[in-house]
Amino acid sequence: MSKKILPFLLFLSAFSNFQAQDKAESALEIFTEKYPQEKIHLVFNKNSYIAGENLWFKSFVFDGYSPSTISTSLFVELYDRNKTQISKKLVPLINGEGSGSFTLPDNLKEDIYYVRAYTTWMTNFNEDFQALRPITVYNPSSPQKLTIDNTSKWTAAVFPESGTFIDGINTKFAVRLQSKGLPPSDWNGYIVDTAKPDVKITSFKGFDQNVGSFSLTPKAGVKYQLIVDDLKGNKQTIDLPNVSDSGINLQVVSGNDAVKFNLKSKNIAPGTLYKVIGTISNQLVFKAKSTKILEQTYSIPTEQLINGILQLTVFDDKENIVAQRLCFVQPDLLKIKKPSLQSLSVNGSPRALNSFGLPQTSDGRDYTVLILDGNSDSSEDENSLLSTLWLTGDITSKIYIPSQYFTKNHNSDALDALLISEKWKRFDWRSIMAGVYPIIRYTPQSYIFYKGKVSVQGKPAPNTDLNLLFEMPNQGIKFYQKKTDANGFFSLNGLFFEDAIKFSYQLNDPKIPKEQVQVIFQPNYAFVPYKNSLPESNYNLVQRSAEDQPNSQIERYIETKNTQSLINEKATLIEEVQLKGVKRDKTKELNEKLSGPLFKSANEMIFDLVNDNNTALGSMNILQWLQGRVAGLTIDSDMGTYIPKLRGSQVSIYLDEMKIDPSQISSISTSDIAMVKVIKDYFAGGFGGGGAIAIYTKRGGISGSISDSTAPTKLKQITLNGFDKETPFVGPVYNDENFNNISHDYRNVLYWNPSLQTQSKEPAKVQFFNNDDAKSYKVIIMGYDEKDYTPIYYNEIIK
């Protein structure tokens, strides 16, 4: 892996007696270069479910603080509390994003379930960094029911800033609460000298249900204790660390303009050499090394940094760690792009139509849009895209409602105290400096990868040409030719298809009867079993009595499940009628039919040779015909071969989405070409490259087809499985009379679109119909602007 995680960060230095790179920096450089770190955010269409419903999810996969390009497939699994796998899905990732759905069985027992998500690359590292989200599923027919755990005891722990507690140095402490159930929302603490337990030295009130803080100037020889209590009378006593008579305390203040720090010391010899290293997402962003480092305050400007966790580590002259501290960069200046809702039209009447538009993102990426009844809970309420990106994606300990630290009215002091109580666990300095790095057992493949073996009369067929015909849904027939290796093996990688497709095959040697040929395929990817124990939830299971009745929320869920079945039936009928009666844009239809998901871009120019551009038929070479028709595109000639260039750089050529050499173009008759697409920017199918010319030949169902749709039936066939197909999300269309007989509508989820595409000329339109009683709407819009390295986030109630 050679990608820099944060190539845009400013590298600052404050050197005295500058020396060559030391062991810590060298180890970090290797770790950053070869072991990039992915993290996953999952958002669900709602916060809780009833057995028999569909669960929709959207995934965002980041490499540090940017959308990941490492992995192109996501593994998603559903577990019960006993770690029994109920279902699993394989989801494609395009630009680090993917979506899918689970159908929850009707007989699923009421309980807490867990959705686990990970990539192949992530399985090389600690399982704690994989996404594991609890899901509440209700079932009134289940013999047991869920109740919130309000009785579990909480525990408290105390953490001095930078890990040191030194005589005479005023030290900030974080106090951290943990509980199996709900931690107390109102709690307090105070400090005493164990020799004078009735005298409070200092006291404080907890910030939230996770953390509180206090400061204390200790005296050598004194034993200190922390007493924490809540309003219910629960109390804990914790011993503070012993007071040291020498050492260094790292003190940090993170502001909007700079992160400032200094080193307070006691009984340290003058002229001792120390080094301070600052890292964000495992990348070096600051270094200071000096014999005078204890005598001044350092300031790290934040104007060219990004929001995220900064780790500061102090090393002595032998590169031993003497102090460490985590802090958040610009906690009160969160860099978030908030999209504007254009032409907003809201009508609070039952089943009324509501709408708004969204502008195109600067890099053409899609939005994820979720609209709920304003009284409903969302999975974003607990752990949001922002809290995953900036906190829980890198912090593995349990945090109660981490989203609270990145809301409009967040408490920055609470976030700072939380980070004092944490350590960076993506890597351990001592391990990597000793040359101990993660063992890479699994390398990411491009989308779906199959290995194949060819046998003739039961014996391997080495160095043999194999012809493969794919029957691709909505894309006609594609032809591939593979050559086996010395043992009869070959590989198929970069496959992108849903459900299953049929392969037809034959050897290129006509002398070998097809009955003697056997081809066996084996997927070169696998779901990896989860080894850790599942986390405890905030709920208990208790026996359901005969008198128990569903509460109002469950009753609405039951009614909605029944209503949704009727909505699905009506919507299917309407769609069938519309497909017959609506005349679609022919070029757009041709593009949708021929182009796979990886070859679609917001910056593409399409030439339709089926319905338009008849002048191309008179040209001997399609590249020559393109000359002068695309701004920035030039066609050079080299020994009779036409070479296309965009803005002076040669671009790749694809024939039916397979990369070919420019010399092969001359053999393609323009009469056999259905469409040409010039892509001027990055697209997923280019795998990191920028720009391409994609040529599509005529196929079955397209006028002038040259494909023989019966060809595969004459050959031996095999079926391969692809990505799992997502169940379409369907809402009612109340301006159509077909929906008039729906008696009750209590839907929580009014709109769900995990990939709302935007166009450059006009805003993307969002339309949804009200349920029977909603008067407000929770609108959640998510995305990422890679040009500015900024999350796009909107989560507000509109009325």
| Tens of pLDDT, residues 468-493 | 877 666 555 677 788 899 998 988 88
Written as one letter, the residue type at 776 is S
Provide the pLDDT for residue 640: 72
For residue 744, being part of any structural domain is answered with: no
The DSSP line for 428-452 is -HHHHHTT----------SSEEEEE
Contact 329, 306 (CB under 8 A): yes
Q: What is the dihedral of CA 759, 676, 475, 731, to 10 degrees?
A: 10
Are residue 618 and residue 694 in the same domain, yes or no?
A: yes
Query: Among 312-321, 384-393, 400-409, 666-675, where is mean pLDDT lowest?
Result: 666-675
Residue 683 has pLDDT above 90, yes or no: no
Residue found by looking up tokens 């953490």 in the block: 159
Report how far apart the first and last C-alpha atoms of the chain are (Å, whole number). Answer: 48
Query: Which residue range forms the structural domain that includes residue 711?
Result: 586-721
Average confidence (pLDDT) over 728-732 = 92
Provide the pLDDT for residue 327: 98
Provide the pLDDT for residue 485: 92
Q: Distance (Å, rounded) from C-alpha 586 to C-alpha 103? A: 35
Residue found by looking up tokens 């909480």 in the block: 154
Confidence of residue 8 (pLDDT cuts 50, 70, 90): very low
Are residue 75 and residue 177 in the same domain, yes or no?
A: no
The percentage of the chain sitting over the pLDDT mark of 70, rounded to a whole number, equals 92
| Tens of pLDDT, residues 287-317 | 999 888 888 899 999 988 899 999 999 999 9
Q: Give whichever of 222-236, 680-694, 774-788 has the largest mean pLDDT.
A: 222-236
Confidence of residue 414 (pLDDT cuts 50, 70, 90): very high
Q: Which residues of 530-542 are buried (b: 16+ CB within 10 A; e: fewer)?
A: beeebeebbbbbe
Residue 14 has pLDDT above 70, yes or no: no
How, if at all, do strands 12-15 and 283-290 pair?
parallel
| Tens of pLDDT, residues 508-544 | 777 777 778 888 888 888 899 999 999 988 899 999 9
Are residue 96 and residue 171 in the same domain, yes or no?
A: no
Provide the pLDDT for residue 582: 45
Are residue 132 and residue 161 in the same domain, yes or no?
A: no
Residue 551 has pLDDT above 60, yes or no: yes
Average confidence (pLDDT) over 219-248 = 96
Are residue 695 and residue 612 in the same domain, yes or no?
A: yes
Provide the pLDDT for residue 650: 85
Are residue 143 and residue 165 in the same domain, yes or no?
A: no
Are residue 100 and residue 205 in the same domain, yes or no?
A: no
Are residue 592 and residue 708 in the same domain, yes or no?
A: yes
For residue 468, being part of any structural domain is answered with: yes
pTM above 0.85? no
Query: Among 36-45, 106-115, 162-171, 263-272, where is mean pLDDT lowest?
Result: 263-272
Provide the β-strand partners of residue 87.
78
**What are all long-range contacts of 560-566, with beta carbons under 8 Å and residues at least 24 apart?**
560/745, 560/746, 560/747, 560/748, 561/50, 561/52, 561/53, 563/742, 563/743, 563/744, 563/745, 563/746, 563/747, 564/53, 564/730, 564/747, 566/742
The upper half-sphere exposure of residue 656, i.e. CA atoms within 13 Å in the direction of its Cβ, equals 17
Written as one letter, the residue type at 770 is N
The DSSP line for 15-51 is ESS--S--HHHHHHHHHHHH---EEEEEEESSSEEET
Written as one letter, the residue type at 373 is D
CATH number at 56 reads: 2.60.40.1930
Are residue 639 and residue 689 in the same domain, yes or no?
A: yes
For residue 694, being part of any structural domain is answered with: yes
Residue 764 has pLDDT above 60, yes or no: yes
Tell me the C-alpha to C-alpha distance, in Å, between residue 266 and each of 167, 193, 206, 220, 751.
7, 22, 30, 12, 61
DSSP state of 208: S
Written as one letter, the residue type at 375 is N
Are residue 135 and residue 185 in the same domain, yes or no?
A: no
| Tens of pLDDT, residues 416-468 | 999 999 999 999 999 999 999 999 998 888 888 888 888 888 888 888 888 88
For residue 773, being part of any structural domain is answered with: no
Q: Which of 147, 167, 188 is the last residue of a domain?
A: 147
Provide the β-strand partners of residue 379.
none
Q: Distance (Å, rounded) from C-alpha 101 to C-alpha 113? A: 15
Provide the pLDDT for residue 10: 43
Are residue 593 and residue 656 in the same domain, yes or no?
A: yes
Q: Distance (Å, rounded) from C-alpha 625 to C-alpha 612? A: 14
For residue 351, being part of any structural domain is answered with: no
Residue 109 has pLDDT above 60, yes or no: yes
Are residue 138 and residue 166 in the same domain, yes or no?
A: no
Q: Which of 113, 147, 181 is the last residue of a domain?
A: 147
Provide the pLDDT for residue 757: 86
Provide the pLDDT for residue 707: 44
Average confidence (pLDDT) over 171-183 = 95
For residue 107, being part of any structural domain is answered with: yes
Q: Which of 523, 555, 573 is the last residue of a domain?
A: 523
Provide the pLDDT for residue 629: 85
Mean pLDDT of the chain: 88
Contact 62, 308 (CB under 8 A): no
Provide the pLDDT for residue 700: 59
For residue 406, being part of any structural domain is answered with: no
Provide the pLDDT for residue 468: 80
Residue 498 has pLDDT above 90, yes or no: no
Phi-psi region of 742 (alpha: psi -120 to 50; beta: other; left: phi over 0): beta
For residue 572, being part of any structural domain is answered with: no
Residue found by looking up tokens 């491009």 in the block: 446
Confidence of residue 144 (pLDDT cuts 50, 70, 90): very high
Sheet containing strand 777-785, strands side by side: 749-756, 367-373, 777-785, 790-798
Query: Among 219-233, 571-585, 623-637, 749-763, where is mean pLDDT lowest?
Result: 571-585
**What are all long-range contacts of 712-716, with beta carbons under 8 Å and residues at least 24 apart?**
712/469, 712/471, 712/477, 712/502, 712/504, 713/504, 714/504, 715/469, 715/504, 715/505, 715/506, 715/514, 716/504, 716/505, 716/506, 716/514, 716/517, 716/519
Number of domains in the chain: 4
Residue 227 has pLDDT above 70, yes or no: yes
Q: Which two tokens stand for residue 438?
A: 């993660």
Provide the pLDDT for residue 721: 85
CATH number at 660 reads: 2.170.130.10
DSSP state of 725: P
Contact 450, 353 (CB under 8 A): no
Provide the pLDDT for residue 361: 81
Written as one letter, the residue type at 310 is L
Confidence of residue 38 (pLDDT cuts 50, 70, 90): very high
- Those residues whose C-beta lies under 8 Å from the C-beta of residue 269, and which sit 6 or more positions away, are none
Provide the pLDDT for residue 269: 87
Contact 348, 373 (CB under 8 A): no
Provide the pLDDT for residue 619: 77
